[in-house]
Structure 1
Amino acid sequence: MRVLAYAERLLWTCGLLCAGYCLILVVQAKGTQRFADRIDQPVPTRIASSAAHTTEDVIGRIEIPALALSAPITADYDGSSLHRGVGHIPGTAVPGGLGTVGLAGHRDSFFRPLRRIAAKMEVRLIDKSGTYHYVVDSTEIVSPDKVEVLNIAARPELTLITCFPFDYVGAAPERFIVHAHLLSASPDGVSAIH
């Protein structure tokens, strides 16, 4: 009887610790999302300095209006970054830049809506310089070693990467890729120099 009571207490403790950890991840992700939602707006200096240590790696926000997707873009795609948003793949272009912008995200969190993406959908990348508009060209499913999906194309592009299949339990064997092209190199809100 004592063994069962001990096992029950142990299971309750483990459950509470897991719930607490999940709560911390949700609060952290929500804070990052709030910061990303204001990435293109001026921030008062005293607020910016107090929030800098937790948001310094947030470089922008991705939005796909047709899928109701809005997520922070972090400066890297390591485990910690992907818990708080979609990660920018180092070595790829920055939003609106020449080359291919590479973004990676978890299929069971921020990039879950990608299962419904289709050609001609609009993708917005927002950073401090403004909003860049991309249009989806195609999707494909590839093996994880097919890194050429990030190759530079003839025009500026965006490549979104997540694991596939979406409902797979555990480490997924394939990758779901979204290809989109940039509509204008000038972001919204930035006037051309005459």
Structure 2
Amino acid sequence: MPRLISPLVLALVGLLLFGDGAYIHAKAWLAQVLLERAFDRSVATGQAVRPWSWADTWPVARIEVKRIGASAIVLEGTSGQALAFGPGHIHQTVDAGERGVAVYAAHRDTHFRFLRNVTIGDVIDVTRSDGRRFRYRADFSAVVRFDESGIDPAAQDAELVLTTCWPFDAITSGPERYILHATLMGTGE
């Protein structure tokens, strides 16, 4: 009897662990669908639209890297709840297209997984929820400690930084962050 129970217990534990991992990715996918709808309504109405009634955040931008087919809706703020559903706009930074550095952060294993495929010179399109469009060019990347980003909040140009944990294939979090820097090329208006 014990020989039969232990394989069943191991199979059940494996199934639970697989289900937990699949749940995270399914939640991220569904959230992006709801966020796309809320973002489109925000652009159409000019007002912040929450993706679901209990959300503590709302869409502020859409980022796209067309060369690799990547797109994500950016949320206001970087609380743990917001980052569970998409990239977040760090409060203390400017909006995309404004003078200074707009910083968007996300998890490396969901919404910013595509950063590993972005190369220097790639075009990054940002559409804000007010409908204004901006085009950036990725000009450098770096791996830095979380507390030593080197981002200059007083930058005189319009810049964009996309950041996530490093290394991309790590199983646990660590002190390093990947930073992709881009400079404004122009508007898409």
Q: TM-score, normalised by structure 2?
A: 0.79
State the 1:169 CA deviation: 1.1
State the alpha-carbon separation in 2 of the partners of residues 111 and 56 from structure 1.
18
State the alpha-carbon separation in 2 of the partners of residues 160 and 167 from structure 1.
17
Amino acid at match of 1:29: Q
Please list the CA deviations of residues 3-53 of structure 1 after superposition, one character each: whole Å capped at 9, or x if unmatched. 9499579749956973784344542333123433x26741599xx689565
State the 1:106 CA deviation: 0.9
Match of 1:18 among 6, 17, 20: 20
Amino acid at match of 1:96: G
1:110 aligns with 2:111: yes
Aligned-pair Cα RMSD in Å = 3.2
Q: Which runs of 5+ in 1 are unaligned?
A: 190-194
Cα pair distance change 1:114/1:10, threshold 3 Å: closer
Q: 8 Å contact 1:73–1:87 — kept in the other structure?
A: yes
Equivalent residue, structure 2, for 1:192? none
Please list the CA deviations of residues 132-165 of structure 1 after superposition, one character each: whole Å capped at 9, or x if unmatched. 1111111111111113324332311111111111
Equivalent residue, structure 2, for 1:164? 166
After the TM superposition, which residues 121-136 of structure 1 pair with which residues of structure 2 at under 5 Å, given as runs? 121-127=122-128, 128-136=130-138
Equivalent residue, structure 2, for 1:63? 64
For this pair of structures, how many residues does the alignment match?
Answer: 184
Q: Which runs of 5+ in 2 are unaligned?
A: none
Equivalent residue, structure 1, for 2:145? 143
Cα pair distance change 1:61/1:14, threshold 3 Å: same
Q: TM-score, normalised by structure 1?
A: 0.77
State the alpha-carbon separation in 2 of the partners of residues 50 and 77 from structure 1.
16
